Chain A
Amino acid sequence: MSEQLPELKDAIALGLTEAEYELVCEKQGSPPNQVELAMYSLLWSEHCAYKHSKNLLVTLPTEGPAVVMGPGENAGAVDVGDGLICAFKVESHNHPSAVEPFQGAATGVGGILRDIFAIGARPIAVLDSLRFGEIETSERSRYLLERAVAGIGHYGNSIGVPTVGGEVYFEGPYEQNCLVNAMALGLGPRDQLMRSAAAGVGNVVLIYGASTGRDGIGGASVLASAELGEADDDKRPTVQVGDPFEEKKLMECSLELLELGLIVSLQDLGAAGLTSSACEMASKGEVGIDIDVRKVPLREADMEPFEIMVSESQERMLCVIEPKDVDAVRAICDKWEVSSAAIGEVTETRLMRIYSGAELVGEMPVEALVDDCPIYDLAPQKPSEPLYSPPIARLDRSAGLAEALLALVGSPNVASRRPLFEQYDPIVQSRTVRRPEQADAAVLALPNGSALAVSIDGNGRRVAADPYRGTLGVVLECASNLACVGAHPLGTTNNLNFGNPEKPHVAWQLTEAVRAIADACTALEAPIVGGNVSLYNEGASGPIYPTPVIGMVGLLPDATRAGRLGFAQEGESIALVGPFEPSLAASELSKLRGEPLPDELPEVDIEAVRDAQAAVRGAVRDGLIDSAHDIAEGGIVTALAECALAGSIGAAIEIEAGEDAWQACFGEAPGGFICCGHATALAQLGERTKVTVIGKVGGERLEIDLGSEKIELGLDELRLQHRALESVFQ
């Protein structure tokens, strides 16, 4: 151990403030040494301690009839019947992906998968939520998109977990700070559910998986908890490198160990590596842990103790086991060709003691490390000036309605995602009932004939226009997607991607968004079971659009009745369903026209939307209707085009446009659905919610009669536009 103690300037370089450093000295009783400072700086980082968001997160609803495990564990879990649970969580890997998109995105998937199997569930699905700058004008954004998608595919495909859904949007404010959020679901027996609290004084702490190297040192503090700047290429060594083959073995090995009941508690090594994992386990178990860093299998022999403690090398797990089981556990690890080493012991000291051989190189109270980080109140203030400059206009005001529809269908935010999702395996594990572009939500069959449905959503532009109502729309859209396949929500996960919370306007966005998530999740009875916060997402030109990403998991009783989005049969009726009040405020059309963001969005009637969802859900479950699609970006006409393209069949529609045909065609709002079915079935649905029959399925054209004007387009014309993203991947 170097004798020279680090000083305040070293603490500041590691991301601590002066006051926080002084508090560390007070907790330790003396200035911390290098190992101790490294560990405090990570555990007291925003990424680990949630110090700017904790006070908000406690306001979220976390309880509900299906909730088995709420926030605080590696992932949340809900009961799905017959002794099975579904574990799920979304997490971000934004800054690593902005620096090195392939590895950043790949290890984002790797990290979220470990969270799932750490609680004893086999990962069964991955979804992703991506944000980049304008790919039509930014070469860098095209590069980031292409490499991030390749990274997600590389990891998910190689490990045998299907990527079943996702979403991607392109907006200027993400130019310097892209977002890569990954969500995973797992399925496991309820009685195998594993918690991370260390238990049993004298029990052995064992690390298994990949060996530990110098990659990812300081990732949580230096990269994840600060704004991105000009010279960020220098931070590339703080990005971890993933190996899906290692993770595949690690996953199978972990699941076998859990099935054999050999593990007392389990935790993955993610941000802040061994430091975070060991301290979290000790804290939750109200025990202490001794670790000898010389026993950790290393990739590079000459690593310093602090480097071993903070390394973010991927594909590693930490478990507590009984001494009698060490040989059995190591034999399973050997079978899977996974290296393992007993590196420590559970103690009653409530201290983290780090040894290098016989030498004590760090000693810290667990409570000080995990619980005593200062929590900051935000100082939210609504900005008096617009925060974001208007987008560049791409659609002339003189354009007609048909031209606008083609522009919308071909705009990067609406165009088919096929060039992305066909790089992912959506079917491995033989459970996928609805693949991407077949329905609004992915559907995964369960053994008893029921099915899980899952959707992930976000809409930064609308949240930027009105953080509260915009976020309500995001949560409601997720539930609408579930309703379209016939599922009711069981639980929700969220990833709060925001700028620097120390700035009042970002604090205001964050506060309003969390308030909306709480209100919507309460009304929908879709409690939050876990999530993640990613702050400091801004570059020199300002913050990203505030981007709460919502992932929702639901259940439908009969997998064979899972809904589809495409029009089904010639001659069937088409209806607009639900309390839909379209507005062009912050819509996709207003973006194409280059309009500045409005100051607010129209009011949202949460209960009315919820009731419409219940009606659509019921109709899908009863087999009453043959298609259901939620109206989102681009409004009702864009939704009709999507239904026609998905079903490869046209439609003839009449819409009462009222005073503003543009608003009627392209206005957006929560609560609207396009459903098709027999006229009598739609009339029955009309007894449950507002239903307006607007046309019939048939032909090879989309014809929309607005009274004074008409849109007439062939499906082939629409399809050509819809394939716009293919050019990025050629």
Chain B
Amino acid sequence: MKTGILRFPGSCDEVDAQLAAALVGDTVLLWHGDRDLQDVDAVIVPGGFSYGDYLRAGAIARFSPVMESVIEFAGDGGLVLGICNGFQVLCEAGLLPGALLPNANRRFTFRQVELEVVEGDTKFTSACPPGELLSIPAKHGSGRFYADEATLNQLEEDGQVVVRYRPEQNFNGSLRDIAGVRNAAGNVFGLMPHPEHAVDALTGSTDGLRIFESIRSAVEGAHV
């Protein structure tokens, strides 16, 4: 499996995502100005502050040449994972529903959070044992998930809410404690917490590794 990690000017966690993805396969960094996705099996849109988050988090990155290819890749069923700023970019690009608003406390906040895996049979969570909680760090200034009531109801009904903050863990004020959602087709997933920062016991937990292992299973399953 080969994972491509996008690199925008202002990306910060692209090397971290690359280190994590390298635990389950090959990796390549994809420059924002290039359209060629280099035959990757999955794409990660990483955390950081693409284009300085000017205008609005993710608003400029979604117009980059590489994103045109990612939108096409996703349309063809390719796996796309957006983490933090990457989640914001995917929402701005219309690949995922909803929007990420400034945190309720109006501050950038770092916290190790506990997530409940709501949907364990997705391409991004199949390696999570049912009912398992993930301890993963979150760090952002605009992570409050927002969508209108009708959309929220529809997301819940259709099983598109993949991970939720456990009680008391939702520091950013996300509606219905939503930490991450997938698209209707199930091949695009975005979340605010950082699974790539939870893949090594030395620097924290290893719970985030499940996400990357799930992606590998999905890709290798598709190849069989």
Chain A residues with a Cβ under 8 A of chain B: 150, 153-154, 157-160, 243-246, 248-249, 252, 336-337, 421-433, 445, 559-560, 729
Pick from A158, A428, A445: contact of B13, CB under 8 Å: A428
Q: How far is the CB of B171 from chain A (nearest CB, A)?
A: 9
Instruction: Scan residues 3-33 of chain B and give those whose CB is less than 8 A from a CB of chain A.
Output: 9-13, 15-16, 19
**B54 located at the interface, meaning its Cβ lies under 8 Å from any Cβ of chain A in the complex:** yes
Knowing A153-B108, A422-B111, the reply to whether A245 touches B203 (Cβ < 8 A) is no
Question: Do A430 and B52 touch across chains, with their CB atoms under 8 A apart?
Answer: no
**B143 located at the interface, meaning its Cβ lies under 8 Å from any Cβ of chain A in the complex:** no
Across the interface, which residues of A come within 8 angstroms of B200, CB to CB? 430
Pick from B15, B16, B54: contact of A245, CB under 8 Å: B54
Pick from B19, B108, B139: contact of A427, CB under 8 Å: B139
Instruction: Scan residues 78-130 of chain B and give those whose CB is less than 8 A from a CB of chain A.
Output: 107-111
Across the interface, which residues of A come within 8 angstroms of B196, CB to CB? 430
23 contacts between A and B (CB under 8 A): A157-B108, A158-B12, A158-B52, A243-B52, A244-B52, A248-B12, A248-B49, A249-B9, A422-B109, A422-B111, A423-B110, A424-B110, A425-B12, A427-B137, A427-B194, A428-B12, A428-B13, A428-B47, A428-B139, A428-B197, A429-B16, A431-B203, A433-B203
Q: How far is the CB of B151 from chain A (nearest CB, A)?
A: 30
CA distance A252 to B32 in the complex (A): 14
Q: How far is the CB of B129 from chain A (nearest CB, A)?
A: 25
Interface code B131-152, partner A: CB below 8 Å = 1, 0 otherwise? Answer: 0000001010100000000000
Across the interface, which residues of B come within 8 angstroms of A158, CB to CB? 10, 12, 49, 52-53
Q: B19's closest neighbor in chain A, by CB?
A: A430
Question: Do B139 and A425 touch across chains, with their CB atoms under 8 A apart?
Answer: yes
Chain B residues with a Cβ under 8 A of chain A: 9-13, 15-16, 19, 47-49, 51-54, 107-111, 137, 139, 141, 194, 196-197, 200, 202-204
CA distance A430 to B203 in the complex (A): 7
Q: A431's closest neighbor in chain B, by CB?
A: B203
Q: How far is the CB of B22 from chain A (nearest CB, A)?
A: 11
CA distance A381 to B64 in the complex (A): 64
Q: A157's closest neighbor in chain B, by CB?
A: B108
Q: A150's closest neighbor in chain B, by CB?
A: B107
Across the interface, which residues of A come within 8 angstroms of B51, CB to CB? 245
Question: Do B19 and A245 touch across chains, with their CB atoms under 8 A apart?
Answer: no
Across the interface, which residues of A come within 8 angstroms of B109, CB to CB? 422-423
Across the interface, which residues of B come within 8 angstroms of A423, CB to CB? 107-110
Question: Do A560 and B52 touch across chains, with their CB atoms under 8 A apart?
Answer: no
CA distance A560 to B137 in the complex (A): 20
Question: Do A445 and B202 touch across chains, with their CB atoms under 8 A apart?
Answer: yes
Pick from B13, B108, B194, B203: contact of A160, CB under 8 Å: B13
Across the interface, which residues of A come within 8 angstroms of B204, CB to CB? 427
User: Which residue, B196, B200, B203, has most C-beta atoms of chain A within 10 A?
Assistant: B203
CA distance A548 to B51 in the complex (A): 38
Q: How far is the CB of B55 from chain A (nearest CB, A)?
A: 12
Pick from B15, B48, B54, B202: contact of A559, CB under 8 Å: B202
Across the interface, which residues of A come within 8 angstroms of B16, CB to CB? 428-430
CA distance A154 to B53 in the complex (A): 12
Q: How far is the CB of A427 from chain B (nearest CB, A)?
A: 5
CA distance A433 to B10 in the complex (A): 25
CA distance A153 to B141 in the complex (A): 10
**Chain B, interface SS category:** mixed
Q: B171's closest neighbor in chain A, by CB?
A: A422
Across the interface, which residues of B come within 8 angstroms of A428, CB to CB? 12-13, 16, 47, 139, 197
CA distance A186 to B51 in the complex (A): 24
Across the interface, which residues of A come within 8 angstroms of B203, CB to CB? 427, 430-433, 445
Given A245-B54, A428-B12, 4 new contacts (CB under 8 A): A160-B12, A243-B52, A422-B110, A428-B139
CA distance A559 to B13 in the complex (A): 22
Across the interface, which residues of A come within 8 angstroms of B15, CB to CB? 429-430
CA distance A246 to B109 in the complex (A): 23
Q: How far is the CB of A423 from chain B (nearest CB, A)?
A: 6
Across the interface, which residues of B come within 8 angstroms of A159, CB to CB? 12
CA distance A246 to B111 in the complex (A): 27
CA distance A359 to B11 in the complex (A): 44
Across the interface, which residues of B come within 8 angstroms of A426, CB to CB? 110
Q: How far is the CB of A728 from chain B (nearest CB, A)?
A: 12
CA distance A400 to B195 in the complex (A): 48
Question: Do A245 and B10 touch across chains, with their CB atoms under 8 A apart?
Answer: yes
CA distance A432 to B204 in the complex (A): 8
Q: How far is the CB of A408 from chain B (nearest CB, A)?
A: 26
Q: How far is the CB of A694 from chain B (nearest CB, A)?
A: 32
Q: How far is the CB of A658 from chain B (nearest CB, A)?
A: 42
Pick from A248, A431, A729: contact of B107, CB under 8 Å: A729
Q: B9's closest neighbor in chain A, by CB?
A: A249
CA distance A429 to B15 in the complex (A): 7
- Top 9 A-B pairs ranked by shortest CB distance? A245-B52, A160-B12, A158-B49, A430-B16, A425-B139, A422-B110, A427-B197, A249-B9, A245-B10
CA distance A571 to B52 in the complex (A): 51
Q: B47's closest neighbor in chain A, by CB?
A: A428
CA distance A424 to B10 in the complex (A): 17
CA distance A150 to B141 in the complex (A): 11
Knowing A158-B49, A445-B202, A445-B203, the reply to whether A245 touches B13 (Cβ < 8 A) is no
Q: A444's closest neighbor in chain B, by CB?
A: B203
Q: A246's closest neighbor in chain B, by CB?
A: B52
Q: How far is the CB of B58 from chain A (nearest CB, A)?
A: 14
CA distance A159 to B200 in the complex (A): 23
Across the interface, which residues of B come within 8 angstroms of A153, CB to CB? 108
Q: A159's closest neighbor in chain B, by CB?
A: B12
Q: How far is the CB of A38 from chain B (nearest CB, A)?
A: 32
CA distance A424 to B19 in the complex (A): 22
Q: B109's closest neighbor in chain A, by CB?
A: A422
Across the interface, which residues of A come within 8 angstroms of B108, CB to CB? 153-154, 157, 423-425
Q: How far is the CB of A262 from chain B (nearest CB, A)?
A: 19
Q: How far is the CB of B216 from chain A (nearest CB, A)?
A: 19
CA distance A316 to B12 in the complex (A): 20
User: Which residue, B10, B47, B141, has most C-beta atoms of chain A within 10 A?
Assistant: B10
Q: How far is the CB of B51 from chain A (nearest CB, A)?
A: 7
Q: A432's closest neighbor in chain B, by CB?
A: B203
Across the interface, which residues of A come within 8 angstroms of B12, CB to CB? 157-160, 248, 425, 428
Across the interface, which residues of A come within 8 angstroms of B9, CB to CB? 245, 248-249, 252, 336-337
Q: How far is the CB of B112 from chain A (nearest CB, A)?
A: 9
Q: How far is the CB of B205 from chain A (nearest CB, A)?
A: 11
CA distance A432 to B48 in the complex (A): 17
Q: How far is the CB of B109 from chain A (nearest CB, A)?
A: 6
Q: How far is the CB of A421 from chain B (nearest CB, A)?
A: 8
Q: How far is the CB of B201 from chain A (nearest CB, A)?
A: 9
CA distance A429 to B9 in the complex (A): 16
Across the interface, which residues of B come within 8 angstroms of A252, CB to CB? 9
Q: A449's closest neighbor in chain B, by CB?
A: B202
Q: How far is the CB of A315 from chain B (nearest CB, A)?
A: 12
Across the interface, which residues of B come within 8 angstroms of A560, CB to CB? 202
Question: Do A425 and B110 touch across chains, with their CB atoms under 8 A apart?
Answer: yes
User: Which residue, A336, A429, A430, A560, has most C-beta atoms of chain B within 10 A?
Assistant: A430
